[in-house]
Amino acid sequence: MQTNKHPQTSLARATHVFHMLDDACFLDYLRKGIRHSPQTQLREDVRQILKNLRDAVPLDVRFNPYHDPENGQFTFAPNNAGAEEHWPERGESSLDVDKAVAHANREAERDSLGKCALYVRRALQYGGGLKNLETPISGFAKEYGPYLERVGFHKLSPRPQPDYDAQKGDVVVIQNHPDGHEAGHIAIFNGSHWVSDFVQPQKENLWPGPGYRREKPDYEVYRP
C-alpha cells in the first residue's frame, strides 16, 4: 500500500474536485430535476476521501501575539526564533569580553547615576582593543551605535526582541523616549543581567527602567 507523502496537496486537489462535482450535480438537478445515483454515490466516495485526507493532515492552528509597528509585519516566530542562525557568534572587534564584563560588574553602582555611556565606554576600553574608540561629541548613549560598528561590532539583524537570549558581551544602544533623558541609554550584557552604570534588575528584557518598558523606544544590539 502506497502512502501519500503530500497529504495537504492531495487534500486541496480533492476538495477542488468535490466542489466541481457538487456544482455539476446541482446544475443537473436544476435542469432535469433528477439526482443521478452514480453521481450521488461518487460524491459520497469523494466526501469519504476528503475525510480520510483531513484525518491524515495534522491540524496547524497558530496564534500570533506580536505585531511590529515599524514594518507592519506579523511573525509566528516569538523571541526571534530562527533569527539567531543569521547572527554571528562574534563580530570583528578585538574586545576581550570577559575583561570588559568584569570591569562593568566591578564598577557598577547600586543605582543609576545617569552616566551609562561613561561606564560602558570604560568597560569596553578596559576590555582592550577599544582604547581609541571614538565617542559622540554629545556624549549621548543613544549615538554610540555607529562608533561601535566602526571598531568591529556587528549590529544584529533582524533586530532582537527585548527578551531575546542575549550573549555575554552584547551591547544595546537605546534611543530616548518622551518622558526620559534625551541621552538615551547603553548597556552591556554580563551573562545574566544588562549592566550600565548599575546592574539592571530586569533579567527578562533589556529595558533599564519602567519608562523604557512602557514607551519601548527604538534600539539596536551590537555584538563584539
CA distance 118 to 112: 12
* pLDDT above 90 as % of the chain: 49
Cα dihedral: 173, 158, 79, 58 (round 10): 170
Least confident of 66-75, 158-167, 173-182, 185-194: 66-75
15 pLDDT above the threshold of 90:
no
Q: Is residue 45 part of a domain?
A: yes
| 102 and 201 fall within a common domain | yes
Q: Is residue 75 part of a domain?
A: no
CA neighbor of 46 nearest in space, from 29, 68, 70, 21: 21
| 28 and 120 fall within a common domain | no
φ, ψ at 198 (rounded to 5°): -150, 165
3-state secondary structure of 185: strand
The CATH code of the domain that includes 137 is 3.90.1720.10
Q: Is residue 47 part of a domain?
A: yes
| 135 and 189 fall within a common domain | yes
Residue 28: give the domain boundaries. Answer: 7-56
pLDDT digits (tens, 9 = 90+) for 126-155: 998 666 667 787 789 999 999 999 999 999
* Cell numbers standing for residue 71: 514594518
